[in-house]
């Protein structure tokens, strides 16, 4: 994964987790997630499943539908010298927007402490899945720089954040959702134009990102919210990990 992407990710997420640790000294927003029916539980996973399914078909070589070969050839003909690092920064735009709205006092579906809990769960699912697939598949990138092509972690991360932005603020304005998903789509396209990913990587990554976010919201709704009342039993733990030269982030809750 791109080193700059990892560094910027740390700069964004570490302050978020620090805020979460100290959230219980702030007034709590008691807004609740709308009940999710069993029917909507299933329907909400159709889109990410379709994205993953389409991405898998892109391995097939043909001249009819977009696939890895013809999209790569198109890129080589038209944008061979294209290169930008905008994707490393745009990937964080939906996350910054969601927290920016929270700190400006614009109420979302959840208060920012609960949103952080869900966001942490989303990223745990997302990166566990994406990195696991990278280790198993070992697909070369289009530029042959390494074997971490499938799926796109950039696409997974930004589409998960765009989906969170939609869940939290889509009811406020459809343009917030459109802006989030448009930014995510732009990141996916730039990854292809930068010759860092095949189209299959981007579609599957997008599907994994949305799937991770919706699964995290569903798990929160089913396993935590309904048993923790207003969320007062949720505790965040964030501490240095000297041995591994990093940070430890943990969640504790009573069921």
- Give the integer Cα–Cα distance in Å for 99 and 120: 13
Contact assessment for residue 37 and residue 46, using Cβ atoms and an 8 Å cutoff: no
The predicted model gives 176-192 an average pLDDT of 97
Residues 6+ apart with CB under 8 A from 105: none
CA 238 to each of CA 11, 194, 247, 249, 250: distance values in angstroms, whole numbers, following the listed order: 15, 35, 7, 5, 6
Residue of 204, 228, 207 lying closest to 118 (CA atoms): 228
- Give the integer Cα–Cα distance in Å for 156 and 130: 8
> Where residue 252 falls among pLDDT bands split at 50, 70, 90?
low
Contact assessment for residue 193 and residue 103, using Cβ atoms and an 8 Å cutoff: no
Q: Which residue has the tokens 């700059």?
A: 4
Comparing 248 with 144, the larger pLDDT belongs to 144
Q: Which residue has the tokens 């389409």?
A: 54
Q: Does domain 40-226 have CATH number 1.20.144?
A: yes
- Give the integer Cα–Cα distance in Å for 155 and 209: 7
Instruction: Please report, for the chain, the start and end positions of each structural domain, with discontinuous segments joined by +.
Output: 40-226
- Give the integer Cα–Cα distance in Å for 37 and 173: 23
Q: Which residue has the tokens 């740390």?
A: 10
Q: Check whether 9 has a pLDDT greater than 80.
A: no
The structure's pTM equals 0.79
- Give the integer Cα–Cα distance in Å for 11 and 35: 34
Name the token pair of 134.
């990278």
Q: What is the pLDDT of residues 191-237, one digit of tens each?
A: 999 999 999 999 999 999 999 999 999 999 888 766 655 444 555 55
């Amino acid at each position: 994964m791109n080193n700059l992407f990892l560094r910027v990710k740390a700069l964004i997420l570490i302050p978020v987790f620090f805020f979460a640790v100290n959230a219980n000294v702030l007034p709590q927003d008691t807004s609740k997630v709308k009940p999710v029916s069993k029917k909507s539980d299933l329907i909400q996973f159709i889109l990410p499943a379709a994205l993953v399914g389409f991405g898998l078909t892109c391995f097939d070589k043909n001249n009819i539908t977009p696939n890895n070969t013809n999209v790569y050839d198109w890129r080589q003909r038209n944008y061979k010298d294209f290169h930008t690092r905008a994707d490393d920064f745009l990937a964080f735009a939906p996350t910054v927007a969601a927290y920016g709205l929270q700190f400006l006092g614009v109420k979302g579906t959840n208060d920012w402490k609960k949103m952080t809990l869900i966001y942490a769960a989303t990223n745990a699912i997302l990166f566990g899945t994406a990195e696991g697939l990278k280790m198993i598949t070992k697909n070369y990138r289009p530029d042959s720089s390494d074997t971490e092509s499938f799926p796109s972690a950039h696409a997974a991360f930004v589409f998960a954040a765009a989906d969170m932005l939609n869940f939290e603020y889509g009811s406020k304005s459809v343009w917030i959702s459109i802006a989030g998903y448009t930014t995510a789509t732009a990141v996916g396209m730039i990854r292809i134009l930068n010759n860092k990913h095949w189209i299959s990587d981007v579609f599957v990554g997008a599907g994994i990102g949305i799937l991770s976010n919706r699964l995290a919201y569903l798990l929160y709704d089913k396993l935590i919210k309904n048993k923790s009342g207003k969320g007062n039993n949720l505790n965040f733990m964030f501490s240095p990990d000297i041995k591994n030269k990093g940070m430890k982030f943990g969640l504790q809750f009573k069921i």
